[in-house]
Structure 1
Amino acid sequence: MPDADDIEKLIERCSLGDRAAFRALYDRTSAKLFGICLRVLKDRGDAQEALQEAYVKIWRGSQAFAANGHSPMGWLVVITRNQAIDRLRARRPEAADIDEALDLADDGPDPEGAAVIAGENRRLADCLDELEAKRADAVRSAYMEGFSYRELAERHDVPINTMRTWLRRSLMKLKACLER
């Protein structure tokens, strides 16, 4: 670990534009600061770029550095860590436009609506159960599965007009049951 007094003197010389001092500062501190970048970013390439950007900030900010009891190495660590965090934040995709959330909205019923629908479905099922089994099957097949009169008549072995009568009368019973 480099001596704090040496680091402080190198930073002061950097503030005067001394490139040799900056090289010496880099040589003495880059391994530790790179470790910080790598720990934050978990990617070697990003860590190297963050370290380079941190040293640019150190070079430019060296004039503002005043030891006043603070550790010079601590100052370097804070700059480097903040740079790595900024780079990490820049990786994250920007938040989507709020209008795009409308495309994600669920068009289905809300919980209260779903409960009402479930209750209505239960009532309809109970009313269908009151019908004769063949007629309830014909209603389900016609209105829930899309069978035609002809298909239903063949399936139940009755004439088409009889099937129409079954469905009409079954629907009237269902209506009366649901209105109760």
Structure 2
Amino acid sequence: MDEKELLTYYKQTGDLNTLGTLYSPYMSLLYGVCYKYLQDEEHSQDAVMQIFEELIVKLRGHEVENFKSWLYVYARNYCLMQLRKGKKITNVDIEDNLYESEQQLNQSDEEDWTEGDFKKLETCLGTLNSEQETCVRLFYLEQKCYRDIAEITGFDLNKVKSFIQNGKRNLKICMEKK
């Protein structure tokens, strides 16, 4: 079975062996993602296991087109939430979460945000069209998934994805100009 078939079968049956088959090839990748954010071996190992436990419920309710990409974003957001809970989040993590695509997460650790940078971010968010602004705020600042955003806004799921992608691009352009 390919990933799509495994996902479909898991959604229908809730079979944990199927979820394990789907998840296991990505465990080392997820460990690396978690370690990048958490900077602790034990916490990263725990995060990989906790993410699996959360997927038991999450995957049955979400439409997932590309499992690897979705899992990467889920793991990144999980780690960011753990850092926020521990009040250890840095400005670099915020910038990473707002701008970089999932495949390009190489940024400088020495970059610090000032109060002016946050004001500039808020100003640039205001320059987006209303659909993009709403979707970007819900996705990045409130950590909502595509499906939840579609339900909240009434937008088509593909429109939500488009608004977020275009909004992120426009936000980055605006921030670089100011």
TM range (shorter): 0.3 to 0.5
What is the TM-score when the length of structure 1 is the normalising length? 0.43
What is the TM-score when the length of structure 2 is the normalising length? 0.44
Structure label with greater radius of gyration: 1
